[in-house]
A and B are shown apart, each in its own frame.
Chain A
């Protein structure tokens, strides 16, 4: 087995560690389908979920993952505004770390917040549950586990559509793709693409319809509607939906084998049409289910296996 000290991002993992985590994740899928959904793996371990951005699915997913493995899980939600809270973040983390949890699961708007905290926290393992526009490693791992259960991902093409500039999920996939042998296509107007993103080794499209042929997965990103129209990233939701929304016509063009994914929460009728979200091609709820198993795997790799050395 492979033990991890922290999980900052896909950047810090190698292919062997990712394969191991996926294998471990697969072994936990069945646990959540049994009538007794509990294993003793993390008995005596304390996990704190520290969420500075609102989140339902990721926080709940971590909470259920910890509880199904018998860990003591504490949730803390603090809805501070995006930035300028760095110092209070450090003090909060130091305070919680002094209560000696084994794992601190953190979501914060500050990119690199896990690297930053790890410089100051001595013993606590840190899991990145989303740091600004940087990484969201457990989401990318969850997506790979989902695909592994639905025909695999090696050699496949995942087409990620939407606000790439602000997407931590897109970055984690761009890093994972090269390590794990799949391709990523990005689809967005230039206003939603970060500078030099092609250096990740991906294909970049501005026309969604051009990107569809050959795509094995259409991965739709949530549009932060309130933020993006006001800073001129696109003129209107109507035009966005027309250019980058996944509708029935585009799904048909993609072919029968093509899957639809979304990290949630969805804006129905904006980046994804309702009927597509609920269609047979959609793996969106499978992603949510596999998220629990994947986070069980991550927590186990971080603090499973009895006393750490």
Chain B
């Protein structure tokens, strides 16, 4: 008789990596996917997934975990708890910690902490330039050996064109990916929200969409000349989507990610001076939102990532213009993104590909698939369940979300990490 450690019975298994979408049993042995189909035998533990979707654990390639340095906002443990509560089993943390992720020692420290916690794989993204200052390159080869999966000065752009060119040339010599926070600070200086009708009504300084577009246009030219791999973080404008589409059509190795807030919300969310709707890049116009959705639909944007950016309430409770940029996103990524499926913009497999296999392939991670023998990182969710988001119940230490009090549709019921059930029924099982 067959036996397994964990049996997931009767779910809709969606594995975009294998182009699989079928109702079946999935079973796990020794932390790996052991088989799929109809299971007959004995299981040590069983999950009834009838009516639920079973997919690879989500991969979020853009989060801020705030450790080391700002642990009052988030740390690797609370961030990992928020991740698995959102169905995320692998995430990439950005280097704007204190100290920065610009030395191998800090990369190793972050990885060791994450491993000890054991809930969610954490793959650091190291700085492109020392101390994110945009002047001298980091030791990319050593950082990569220590575990960095890509390079970015996120939070800050690599603003200097000459430095960016060298960064792209050097990184691509070893096939490293450079991720840009595309913002021409000379255009966005002093801005708090999107420059446009809402900013004009509120009397708040704006960040023009051209600040994003201009830097991406420049970077695409540099990517062409360097023969590099270039990834646009949190794309938010119609102009940027069109630039990336053009570059990809030309055959350049340019990719982009969109954050759920940029395809779910517009600048109208800020009316009333809502600091929990303030982030960088800012929420844009309806035309931009629709352009991002079209980019997701036609494949221009291959990744959905949260830009999870926890901030303490004191950093938000000081008026819109002074409030810190960013919102938490790990626990809302899936329900917010599922709206794209309900609206008919994307099929469920296409949506899940952007949160599993696509970022995993882009970064070379062993994740994002349910193939036999793969590490058993699994997310199980009820796509229909509705629930009201209450910020106090978030697992993240920070509560800065624009979705407080809003009804969400789609809820993660189980998260499995390396074959072990780590999240079930709203509780972390550790």
Tell me the A residues contacting B by CB distance below 8 Å: 11, 83-87, 89-90, 110-113, 115-116, 131-135, 168, 171, 194-197, 199
Q: Name the residue of chain B whose CB is nearest to the CB of A108.
A: B319
Contact A111 B314 (CB under 8 A): no
Q: Which residues of B contact A133 (CB under 8 A)?
A: 203-205
Chain B: minimal CB distance from A203 (Å): 16
Q: Which residues of B contact A115 (CB under 8 A)?
A: 272-273
Contact A116 B273 (CB under 8 A): yes
Number of A-B contacts (CB under 8 A): 71
Contact B197 A113 (CB under 8 A): no
- Count B interface residues, CB 8 Å: 22
Q: Which residues of B contact A195 (CB under 8 A)?
A: 195-197, 199-200, 206, 208
Q: Which residues of B contact A113 (CB under 8 A)?
A: 319
B150 in contact (CB, < 8 A): no
Q: Name the residue of chain B whose CB is nearest to the CB of A86.
A: B318
Given contacts A83-B321, A89-B319, A112-B202, list 5 more A-B pairs with CB under 8 A.
A110-B321, A132-B203, A132-B321, A134-B202, A194-B199
Q: Which residues of B contact A11 (CB under 8 A)?
A: 201
Contact A112 B208 (CB under 8 A): no
Given A84, A87, A90, A168, which contacts B203 in the complex, CB threshold below 8 Å?
Answer: A168
Q: Name the residue of chain A whose CB is nearest to the CB of B205.
A: A133
Q: Give me 6 A-to-B residue pairs in the complex whose CB atoms sit less than 8 angstroms apart, sorted by A's number.
A: A86-B322, A87-B318, A89-B318, A112-B319, A133-B204, A195-B199
Q: Name the residue of chain B whose CB is nearest to the CB of A196.
A: B197
Given A110, A131, A196, A199, which contacts B322 in the complex, CB threshold below 8 Å?
Answer: A110
B427 in contact (CB, < 8 A): no
CA distance A171 to B202 in the complex (A): 9
Q: Name the residue of chain A whose CB is nearest to the CB of B198.
A: A196
B301 in contact (CB, < 8 A): no
Contact B199 A110 (CB under 8 A): no
CA distance A5 to B272 in the complex (A): 17
Chain B: minimal CB distance from A6 (Å): 14
Q: Which residues of A contact B317 (CB under 8 A)?
A: 87, 90
Q: Which residues of B contact A194 (CB under 8 A)?
A: 199-200, 206
Chain A: minimal CB distance from B226 (Å): 33
Chain B: minimal CB distance from A29 (Å): 30
CA distance A134 to B198 in the complex (A): 11
- What are the 5 A-B residue pairs with the smallest beta carbon separation, nearest first? A86-B318, A134-B203, A112-B273, A133-B203, A86-B322
Contact B203 A111 (CB under 8 A): yes
Contact B321 A86 (CB under 8 A): yes
Contact B200 A197 (CB under 8 A): yes
CA distance A113 to B318 in the complex (A): 9
CA distance A89 to B317 in the complex (A): 11
Q: Which residues of B contact A90 (CB under 8 A)?
A: 317-318
Given contacts A87-B317, A112-B319, contact A171 B203 (CB under 8 A): yes
CA distance A90 to B65 in the complex (A): 28
B320 in contact (CB, < 8 A): yes
Interface flags for B246-281 (1: CB within 8 Å of A; 0: not) read 000000000000000000000000001100000000
CA distance A277 to B203 in the complex (A): 28
Chain B: minimal CB distance from A255 (Å): 31
CA distance A199 to B202 in the complex (A): 13
Q: Which residues of A contact B321 (CB under 8 A)?
A: 83, 86, 110-112, 132
Chain A: minimal CB distance from B190 (Å): 9
CA distance A12 to B244 in the complex (A): 42
Contact A196 B319 (CB under 8 A): no
CA distance A257 to B195 in the complex (A): 38
Contact B197 A111 (CB under 8 A): no
Contact A196 B320 (CB under 8 A): no
Interface flags for B299-332 (1: CB within 8 Å of A; 0: not) read 0000000000000001001111111000000000
Chain A: minimal CB distance from B425 (Å): 34
Q: Which residues of B contact A171 (CB under 8 A)?
A: 201, 203
CA distance A199 to B196 in the complex (A): 10
CA distance A282 to B59 in the complex (A): 67
Given A84, A86, A89, A111, which contacts B204 in the complex, CB threshold below 8 Å?
Answer: A111
Q: Which residues of B contact A132 (CB under 8 A)?
A: 203-204, 321
CA distance A199 to B206 in the complex (A): 16
CA distance A112 to B272 in the complex (A): 8
CA distance A86 to B322 in the complex (A): 6
